[in-house]
Chain A
Amino acid sequence: MKLKGWGNYPQLEAVVLSPDTQEDLKRLVQKGNLIARGNGRAYGDSAVNEHLTLDMTRFNHILEFNEDTGVVTAEAGVLLADIIDVFLPRGWFPPVTPGTKFVTIGGMTASDVHGKNHHLDGAFSSFIDWIELLDGDGNVKKCSRRQNKELFNWTIGGMGLTGIILRIAFRLKRVETGWIEQRIVRTQNLADTMQVFEDNDASPYSVAWIDCATRGPKSGRSLVMLGSHANQSDLSPEQRDDLFPKPRPRRLKVPFTFPGFVLNKYSVRIFNEAYYRWAGRSTQTQHVKWDGYFYPLDSIGDWNKIYGRKGFAQFQCAIPMSSAASALAEILDAVSRSSQGSFLSVLKRFGPQDNPFSFPLDGYTLTLDFPINKASLRLMEKLDEITLRHSGRFYLAKDSRMTADVFHASDPRIIKFVKARDKMEATSVFISAQSERLKF
């Protein structure tokens, strides 16, 4: 069947199987040349292998929960949405969450996802106690920071290329309510935006929506959204009656794939201007529900359809602190000069790197969306070049179009990863379209 990532680009004809027992998985691993796939929320070709893609969503059992420590043991195909559904009403929340709850725990581990709290708490892996991995020989290996440490380290952020992640034990965090205390800070330019991040480094959650369409002195103006889990005593009586609000139903749906021309530099500029004014209209502290705060796009079923049939790419880089300001300024300049608009652009302060192969590094990460076309692909090549020049690197879960040369130049850790993967004899077994494209 036609298989693609969330960005609908590239689309590849792939054989997909949906096994549901460990014995089936062991048999399939003997065939070699395959990749495990979760809920298909990686943007590009990370979880696609034309020869054989293993849909892991039937491994969706929660196996254990310790009510004292908050440790959950789950199969790799369990959705984060299910974890929230089950445990939020009991006062527990995921310690780290990406911008959608429709990811699997296995995918979160393979990508070592980060969230709005990375600057304080680190990536998802900081909360993983152990994992169980099916290796290329069909053996199940328990891996942690003490046991099979090397395998553990390369599997975290290893994009499924070291084996099939079967089970994950990770820690939830206690919350008193499902409400978030949110404050929005409207900034005037890039320097101002970065200063707000630095000044609010104690805020548990922080992320900025950044206007990439405006040039000149206002370039990089943003809405920095700060947040923290609200306590019961902070809430109004009505809010207290709904202590753990249910997720919003997915009522809105994009009815059809938009024609490619709907998103252009003009519509994007108008949207950016309007959003900056509208969302930034109130800078008062307010209490918002967890679902709208963490997953604003989840209530719109297939929002990826707005980018047209050719799909879209998400560009996400991380730039070390020392060169962040100049790199970001250059990137914003390149984007605003191009005919390409980035509809959703997000800036975030990262804390230090988590695991040997995790994406985050001490600095800033910028995320941009572009519909796929010749000009945007050219622009992203330029952004690659700027990132490389400033010692930045790229997030594999988002990538769909980078070249192997750029990837290898971006990160000296890749050689070590390749060697380690060879040594564990995973190289000829676990392969994705992305690993072939990027030659690693």
Chain B
Amino acid sequence: MTNSSVLILGAKSDIGRAIAYKFAKEGFTVRLAGRNRSELSRLKKDIEIRHQVAVSAHEFDVVNTKAHLSFVKRLPELPEVVVCVIGLLGDQQDSETNYASADLIFDSNFVGPSHILSVFANQFETRGSGSLIGISSVAGDRGRASNYVYGSAKAGFSAFLSGLRNRLASKGVQVTTVLPGFVYTKMTADMDLPGALTATPEEVGDGVFKAWQAKRDVIYVRAIWRWIMLIIKLIPETIFKRLSL
């Protein structure tokens, strides 16, 4: 169908993998980026064999922002689509008193992802085309006691994507915010998740691809989350602060 390429930042994650498979199935050349290149090589071979497309693996650490420019320069080409899947849930309780772990959550979910997407945004703007897709979180829609460090970092990332979209709307560059809701992944393996609200990584992969095709701005992978978050956002703060959420 196409020789366009997609770059997946955080390809080793369950959602990253699912997105990579979906784009490969649709004929894209796939660039996988993550911290452990040797682990990515298993994924690279598997996608190559299953979907008979070109795949490459690239070392990338989102928190090492100084290396971002040279990372982009070393890519075989400037991709058509960049998907940033990187996220770190962290440990809320620990991050309340351990500031270093809070910093790592901010860096992994907001500072780093915004930094790398800025680099691509500028190059896409010059080229006049491209899509930037950020996997954010419904946790960023409102801060809650149970995960506000992670949530606020995602809120920052969502606001960043929204602003970027506004800036690039007239420049031929599409920016998409994806809010997956609960997903069955390694990150949530220890949680007891409600089935009706929880998507599989494959659902997210399909959702991301469709959102790219349709040039969507903001998507909730499972539509019900739009309504859940709307209600949560509408609760007055005087009441909200007393709830245990």
Contact = CB atoms under 8 A, between A and B. Distances in A.
B50 A62 contact: yes
A64 B49 contact: yes
Given A21-B39, A86-B50, A61 B45 contact: yes
A20 B50 CA distance: 20
Interface in A51-110: 60-65, 75, 82, 86
A36 B226 CA distance: 40
B186 A62 contact: no
Nearest to B189: A18
Interface string B42-70: 11011001100000000000000000000
Contact of B49 (A20, A21, A86): A86
Contacts of B45: 61-64
Interface in B191-210: none
Contact of A63 (B39, B42, B186): B42
Contacts of B43: 61
Interface residues of B, number: 9
Contacts of A18: 186, 189
A61 B46 contact: yes
Interface in B26-45: 39, 42-43, 45
A347 to B, nearest CB: 37
Interface in B161-184: none
Contacts of A75: 42
A20 B39 CA distance: 10
Nearest to A17: B189
A20 B12 CA distance: 10
A62 B43 CA distance: 8
Contacts of A63: 42, 45-46, 49
A65 B49 CA distance: 7
Nearest to A90: B52
B189 A62 contact: no
A350 B49 CA distance: 34
A236 B72 CA distance: 54
Interface string A153-194: 000000000000000000000000000000000000000000
A348 to B, nearest CB: 32
Nearest to B46: A61
Contacts of A20: 186
Nearest to A20: B186
Interface centre among A18, A62, A82 (most CB of B within 10 A): A62
A62 B49 contact: yes
Contacts of B189: 18
A21 B38 CA distance: 11
A86 B42 CA distance: 17
Interface in A16-31: 18, 20-21
Given A61-B43, A61-B45, A86-B50, 12 more contacts: A18-B189, A21-B39, A60-B46, A61-B42, A62-B46, A62-B49, A63-B45, A63-B46, A63-B49, A64-B45, A82-B50, A86-B49
Interface of A: 18, 20-21, 60-65, 75, 82, 86
23 contacts: A18-B186, A18-B189, A20-B186, A21-B39, A60-B46, A61-B42, A61-B43, A61-B45, A61-B46, A62-B45, A62-B46, A62-B49, A62-B50, A63-B42, A63-B45, A63-B49, A64-B45, A64-B49, A65-B49, A75-B42, A82-B50, A86-B49, A86-B50
